[in-house]
Amino acid sequence: MSKKNNFGGFVFSTDPNFRPEPEADDDFEEVPADKQVLRIWLERVKGGKEATVVKGFAGPAGSLDQLAKTLKNKCAAGGNAKDGVIIIQGDHRDKVLKLLLEMGYKNVKKAGG
């Protein structure tokens, strides 16, 4: 049986002054909304269903999750957010573009075909 420790696999040290360094939760700094470069895509997934995809978000995961939650609520649709990408079920490109511009994201465009 494996036991997970908080030291990244480190088990024992003979150094009496050793203190493990805490891991950083967010690797990204907060980038202002007007400096973000976001692109809105329409992707077709299996079964012929459509999904609106917002790519290019740079910032901590908490900010990404909050933005995704706001967009999903305004579009009344489901979806998820991960690795700087927000996916919203359905074709909501026009509504998402309008919402992002209202939120202060200036460099936002529809992309793709």
| Model pTM above 0.75 | no
Q: By C-alpha distance, which of 81, 12, 89, 111 is closest to 45?
A: 89
Tell me the residue range of the domain where 79 lies: 33-110
List, for residues 57-99, the tens digit of each pLDDT value. Answer: 998 999 999 999 999 999 999 999 999 999 999 999 999 999 9
Residue 55 within a domain: yes
Model confidence pLDDT, tens digit, residues 43-59: 998 888 999 999 999 98
Structure-token pair, residue 73: 């609520």
Q: Is residue 17, in this structure, part of any structural domain at all?
A: no
CATH number for the domain including 88?
3.30.780.10
Kindly provide the b/e burial profile for residues 52-71, where b requires at least 16 CB atoms within 10 angstroms of the residue's own CB. bbbeebebeeebbeebbeeb
Number of independent structural domains in the chain: 1
Whether residue 1 lies inside any domain: the answer is no
Say if 84 falls within a structural domain: yes
> Rounded to an integer, what distance in angstroms lies between the CA atom of residue 3 and that of residue 27?
26
Query: Please, which pLDDT band fits residue 28 given cuts at 50, 70 and 90?
Result: low
